[in-house]
Amino acid sequence: MHANKKPGLFLPDTVFPRITAVTPEFLKERGITALVLDIDNTLTTHDSPELPADVAQWLEARKAEGFQFAVASNNHEPRVAPFAQKIGVKWVADAAKPLPRGLARAQQQFGVPKEQMALIGDQLFTDVLGARLFGIKALLVEPMAPDHKKLIRFKRVLEKPLMILYDKRGGERCGG
């Protein structure tokens, strides 16, 4: 978004085609040191226990550069904990996004002020709204795969006019 325009509760700060398009330079320019990551359709496809190779390489490179990570998912612990442990990041299960409590738990794990945090996710009504309500930057990625859950498919229909508004307002798109 242009500096003189507020993005609104449902609109992201920046849109990327994929998480791997989020560069360390982009993060450093904005003072971001800690990232809260959604799992499904952001890091990997729904219900997959594996990271795609390019996402794994991106994550390891950012860790080596000193960025902190936590996954915050509305999924339950049996999905979230093993996934986060496998990729070596902190985690918050049952995050209840868009409510701020899961993001507050991630912030406690990081020990950084909100100004140094951003959330990367694929949904406006959970991830972006959650970041807005908690007061951190919201970075939206395009979903990795088509959604198979009816509720998410319905929300995708509702997201379309908001993304048209985002683009009309000159919303920032990077990496694609």
- Flag whether pLDDT at 5 surpasses 50: yes
- pLDDT tens-digit series, residues 117-168: 999 999 999 999 999 999 999 999 999 987 778 888 888 889 999 999 999 9
**Could you tell me if 34 and 68 are in contact, meaning their C-beta atoms sit under 8 angstroms apart?**
yes
Average pLDDT of the segment spanning 75-93: 96
The string of DSSP codes covering 45-92 is STT--S--HHHHHHHHHHHHTT-EEEEE-SS-HHHHHHHHHHHT-EEE
**Rounded distance, CA 56 to CA 59, Å?**
5
List CB contacts of 2: < 8 A, sequence separation 6 or more: 169, 170
Residue pair 96/74 in contact by the 8 Å Cβ criterion: yes
- Please tell me the predicted confidence (pLDDT) of residue 54: 97
Asked if residue 34 has pLDDT above 90, the reply is yes
Q: What is the pLDDT of residue 47?
A: 81
Partner residues linked to 137 by β-bridges: 118
Question: Domain residue spans in the chain?
Answer: 14-173
Which CATH number does 14-173 carry?
Answer: 3.40.50.1000
